[in-house]
Structure 1
Amino acid sequence: MERVREALEALGHPERRYPVLHVAGTNGKGSTCAFAATALQAAGHRVGLYTSPHLVRVNERIRVGGEDISDEDFGRAILEVLERYPSAVAEPMTYFEFGTVVALWHFAQAGVDVVVLETGLGGRLDATTAAPSIVTAITPVSFDHMEYLGNTLGSIAGEKAGILKPGVPCVVARQEPEALEAIEARARALSVPLWVEGRDFSVETQADGSLAYRGPGWRLDGLRTSLRGPHQLQNAGVALACLEALDARGIAVTPEAARAGLGSARWPGRLEEVGQGPTVLLDGAHNPAGVAVLLASLRALYAGRPIHCVFGVVADKDRGPMMRALFPACASVQLTPLDTPRSLSPAAYLDEARALAADVAAWPDVDAALAEARRRAGVDGVVLCTGSLFLVGMVRARKDRPRTP
């Protein structure tokens, strides 16, 4: 945190020029940020949105008014930060630290009214935590990045709760008891008022398929979400509670704007269809909890259709639980390397995969794996690309290319 704070001081503290909604968690935080940012924009605010990782281009991480930062603005912001803080090169910052500082600087130069910040992998030591926030949120906490965050839900939740600020309200999604205890302990120490799902706010599905939100002050019925999957019910609820909390703290958001935000938000790479005949589905599930959510969504959205999986994983992920849950549900599995030095070679876990599914093959690249999955799926099957956001980005970058016979 010292390097980030030093850089922001050298830049004249751009992070203090706008109010911030800060969101941490293991799964769902990106969708929650997308819902909140879109609603804030519908309310008439000029909104800065910082998320990670990107799928195809790094510009995706920094958005103002719903648009990715342009190459010109990105280059200008980088040079301006380096001019004012040359130590970023002399004593190199990490990729994420530098990107966060550039984003916070750009938001100030762009004159945004409010910023939605998504943490990276943690919270307590995350570069985004250097920005003061007026509302924070923690989406569901589960096992991921254990080498950095700890091996228990309590330790992981404690790291995520590092974004809490004294007296600043925090919206908390429904959690496992161990995780909630750690968050509540941190909240007590800082006198943080918690809005806990199931106690202070809730979202339920109505008979007509719409959603009903009940919060401390808002009662909204007939809501619809643009993002697919049953898990988006919870993400929408957390986002609505954040918006209600922001409204109470002076960032005006009407229920109508909140409704519009839920109905028009976009978050690529999460249950995203990018092709038909067969359906090609992208989902960034990359931990056991994410795979559990994915499987529930497949049952709800593609019941009875055979799933042909293209799967790639990075070497530092706990792939075993993901594979044991996902592969038995697939008609075939095509393993592919990823376009990153962190990629795990398919040969390294081919035997492990074959013990979990009847039809498994390894391929030298994603194009070959995709071609085989498409062939097996035919017209009626579903080609599911998952296991890593790197894979989602690779396939997404190919979606507009002509397909070879």
Structure 2
Amino acid sequence: MERVREALAALGHPERRFPALHVAGTNGKGSTCAFTATALQAAGHRVGLYTSPHLVRVNERIRVDGLDISDEDFGRAILDVLERYPSAVTEPMTYFEFGTVVALWHFAKVGVDVAVLETGLGGRLDATTAASPVVTAITPVSFDHMEYLGHTLAAIAGEKAGILKPGVPCVVARQEPEALEAIVRKAEGLGAPLWVEGSDFVIEPRDDASLSYRGPSWSLDGLTLALRGPHQRQNAAVALACLEALHARGVSVTLEAARVGLATARWPGRLEEVGSAPPVLLDGAHNPAGVEVLLASLDSLYPGRRVHLVFGVVGDKDRGPMMRALFPKCTSVQLTPLETSRSLAPALYVDEARALCADVAAWSDVDSALAAASRKAGPDDVVLCTGSLFLVGMVKARLG
């Protein structure tokens, strides 16, 4: 954190020039941020949104009012930071640290009214934790990045809860008991009020397939979600509670704006369908909990349809549980390398895959893997690309 704090001080503390919502968690962070940022924009605010990773272009990480930062503004912001903090080069910052500082500088420079910030990894030592939030949030915590965050849910949740600030309310999604206990312990130590899903706020389906939300002060009926999958109900609940907490902290949000945010938000690469006959489905599931959510969504959205999988994974992921859950449900599996040095070569786990699915092939590039899946799929089947957001970005770049 020292480099980030030094850089922000050299820049005159841009992070203090706007209120922020800071979101941590294992899964659902991006969708929650998208719902919230869209609603804040509908409420008339100029909204900065900082997320990671990007899918196709790094500009996607820094958005104002739904638009990616332009190349010109991005370049200017980078040069501004380097001019004011040359130590970024002489004592190199990490890619994520530098990107975070550039985002906070840009948001301050263009005068956003509020920013929505997604952590990269963890929370306690995440560069975004240098920001000044008026509300924080923690989406569901599960096993991921264990080599950095710990090997128990309590340890991982404790790292995520590192975003909490004294006296700043934190919205918490429904958690496993040991994860919630770690978050509560951290909150009590800081005097940070908690809004916990299930006790302080809830979202429930209605007979007409719409949703109803009940929070400490807000009640909304007839809600619809732009993002697909049953898991988005929980993300929407957390987003609404964040909006309610922001409103209570002076960031004005109307109920109608909240409704619009849920109904119009976009978040690419998460159950994103491109093409037709067969549809190509892109999903960034990259840990066991994400795969469980994906499988539930497939049953809900594509019941009874055969799935032809294009799968790529980075070497530091816990691939075994993902493969054991997903591969037996697929008619065919095409393994592909990823365009990153972290990629796991398909040859290293093709035998493992063949024990889980009868039709498995390993390919040298994503184009060959995608073409093979498309050849095997009938018009009523589904081609699913998952295992890593790197893979989703690669396919999106190819399919436009």
Do both proteins adopt the same fold according to a TM-score greater than 0.5, normalized to the shorter chain? yes
Question: 1:7 and 2:18 equivalent?
Answer: no
CA positional deviation for 1:244: 0.2
Aligned residue number for residue 338 of structure 2 = 338
Question: Does residue 1:132 correspond to 2:148, yes or no?
Answer: no
Q: Does 1:329 align with 2:329?
A: yes
Shift of 1:96: 0.1
For 1:65 and 1:386, locate their aligned partners in 2 and report how far apart those are by CA, in whole Å: 29
Shift of residue 199 of structure 1? Answer: 0.2
What does residue range 88-99 of structure 1 map to in structure 2 within 5 Å? 88-99=88-99
Tell me which residue corresponds to 2:29: 29
Residue of structure 2 equivalent to 1:198: 198
Is 1:47 the counterpart of 2:53? The answer is: no
**Who is 2:81 aligned against?**
81
Residue 118, structure 1, aligned to residue 118, structure 2 = yes
| Aligned twin of 1:403 | none
In 1, Cα distance between equivalents of 2:66 and 2:366:
30
In structure 2, what residue type is equivalent to 1:294? L
Deviation at 1:132, TM superposition (A): 1.1
Partner amino acid, structure 2, of 1:3: R
Equivalence for 1:310? 310
Q: Specify the SS of the correspondent of 1:270.
A: coil
Secondary structure of 1:109 counterpart: helix
Deviations 1:90-127 (A, max 9, x none): 00000000000000000001110000000001100000
Give the structure-2-normalised TM-score. 1.00
Matched, 1:398 2:398: yes
Q: Deviations over 1:346-366 (max 9, x none)?
A: 000000000011111101110
* Letter of the 1:72 counterpart: E
Counterparts of 1:362 and 1:345, CA distance in 2: 9
Q: Secondary structure at the match of 2:338?
A: coil
Quote the residue 1:258 is aligned against: 258
Distance 1:50 1:209 in 2: 32
Matches within 5 A, 1:216-255: 216-255=216-255
- Structure 1, unmatched stretches of 5+, are 401-405
**Corresponding residue for 1:189?**
189
2:149 alignment partner in structure 1: 149
Matches within 5 A, 1:284-323: 284-323=284-323
| SS in structure 1 at match of 2:203 | strand
- Secondary structure of residue in 2 paired with 1:289: helix
CA distance in 2, matches of 1:191, 1:371: 55
Residue type of the alignment partner of 2:193: P
Where do 4+ consecutive residues of structure 1 move more than 6 Å?
none
TM-score by length of 1: 0.98
Q: Secondary structure at the match of 1:228?
A: coil
Q: Tell whether 2:369 aligns with 1:369.
A: yes
Match for residue 281 of structure 1? 281
Task: Please say if 1:103 is aligned against 2:127.
Answer: no
Gaps of 5+ in 2: none
CA distance in 2, matches of 1:305, 1:165: 47
Q: CA–CA distance in 2 between the matches of 1:190 and 1:17?
A: 23
The one-character-per-residue Cα deviations of 1:184-208 (angstroms, maximum 9, x if unpaired) are 0000000111000000000001111
Deviation per residue, 1:244-273 (Å, 9 max, x gap)? 000001100000000000000000000000
1:63 matched residue in structure 2: 63
Aligned counterparts of 2:65 and 2:204: Cα–Cα separation in 1: 30
Helix, strand or coil at the partner of 1:384: strand
Aligned AA (1:217): S
Amino acid at match of 2:80: E
Q: Deviations over 1:100-157 (max 9, x none)?
A: 0000000001110000000001100000000011000000000000000000000000
TM superposition shift of 1:277? 1.5
- SS of 1:310's partner is strand
Distance 2:206 2:361 in 1: 43
RMSD: 0.4
Q: Distance in 1 between matches of 2:399 and 2:89?
A: 36
Instruction: Measure, in 1, the Cα distance between the counterparts of 2:263 and 2:37.
Output: 12
- Cα shift readout 1:145-177 (whole Å, capped 9, x = no counterpart): 000000000000000000000000000000000
What is the identity percentage for the equivalent residue pairs of Structure 1 and Structure 2? 81
Rounded to whole Å, the distance in 2 between the matches of 1:157 and 1:357 is 34
Q: CA deviation at 1:396?
A: 0.3
Instruction: Give, as a single letter, the amino acid of the residue that structure 2 aligns with 1:166.
Output: P
Q: CA deviation at 1:76?
A: 0.1
CA distance in structure 2 between the partners assigned to 1:50 and 1:9 by the alignment: 20
User: Aligned partner of 2:183: which letter?
Assistant: I
Shift, 1:274, TM fit: 1.2
Matched AA of 1:348? L
Quote the Cα distance in structure 1 between the aligned partners of 2:377 and 2:42: 40
Q: What SS does the corresponding residue of 1:48 show, helix, strand or coil? A: strand
